[in-house]
Amino acid sequence: MGEEDTELEARLEAQDVFEPPESFVEQANVADPGVYEEFEENWPDCWEGAAEMLDWETEYDQTFDGSNPPFFEWFTGGELNASANCLDRHLDERGDEAAIE
């Protein structure tokens, strides 16, 4: 490998914020800008609202356990199936659509 092969080139301009495409924003589960205020004022219990959007196999006991830093635990005692939440629960309404395009 020659020296010219090891040179790296940055192709992205440095940015602090990357705005999502409008098509993504339109289908988002959380589109209310007030969510930022909710998360600042009600941390960490604000995550309960997000947890309600999921199907749990076993309900969680506690949203956040910070008793053993830095080994924090979220949704202690809860169990969920990621595949079921991402795919299976949508089959009745969207089973004839491609999961990934």
Dump pLDDT digits (tens) for 6-28. 666 777 667 777 888 988 888 88
Structure confidence by residue, pLDDT tens digits, 73-100: 999 999 999 999 988 888 898 889 887 7
Q: Break the chain into its structural domains and give their ranges.
A: 25-95
Q: Residue 18 is encoded by which pair of tokens?
A: 């990357």
pLDDT at 64 over 80: yes
CA distance 44 to 46: 5
Question: End-to-end distance of the chain based on CA atoms, in angstroms?
Answer: 37
**Phi/psi class of residue 66: alpha, beta or left (left: φ > 0; alpha: ψ in -120 to 50)?**
alpha
Tokens matching residue 28 = 């988002």
